[in-house]
Amino acid sequence: RKEVEQDPGPFNVPEGATVAFNCTYSNSASQSFFWYRQDCRKEPKLLMSVYSSGNEDGRFTAQLNRASQYISLLIRDSKLSDSATYLCVVGGGKLIFGQGTELSVKP
């Protein structure tokens, strides 16, 4: 089993759609959780940290369920500029990256 596993992509959605990404992790001792965004052949950029209480930043909402070892990211009213690969990242000793889920938002 992979340490961090994400939905296989790609997700192709129209502008304005709501899209949800799911991620599970295997190490129950993990201490920190993030969503990163990566554009093709560029460095990952932090989108948001994820907390047990859930957190929201504009159109983006992240949730963490420690009991289920599950992390989610919801994007509402998707824009063309949201097209990228979304990486689920889990920390605790070292950062472990999921394989990423590619999102393509079409006009």
Partner 1 sequence: GAVVSQHPSRVICKSGTSVKIECRSLDFQATTMFWYRQFPKQSLMLMATSNEGSKATYEQGVEKDKFLINHASLTLSTLTVTSAHPEDSSFYICSASPRWGGTNEKLFFGSGTQLSVL
Q: How far apart are CA 66 and CA 79, in angstroms?
A: 30
Among 62, 71, 87, 103, binds partner 1 (CB under 8 A): 87
Residue 81 engages partner 1 in binding (rule: CB under 8 A): no
Question: Which x/- pattern, by CB under 8 A, does the window 49-68 give for partner 1?
Answer: x-------------------
Q: Between β-strands 84-91 and 32-38, what pairing exists: parallel, antiparallel or unpaired?
A: antiparallel
| C-alpha Rg value of the chain to the nearest Å | 13
**Which one-letter amino acid corresponds to residue 107?**
P
Q: Residue 9 or residue 17: which is nearer to partner 1 going by CB?
A: 9
Chain positions contacting partner 1, by CB under 8 A: 31-32, 34, 41-46, 49, 87, 91-100
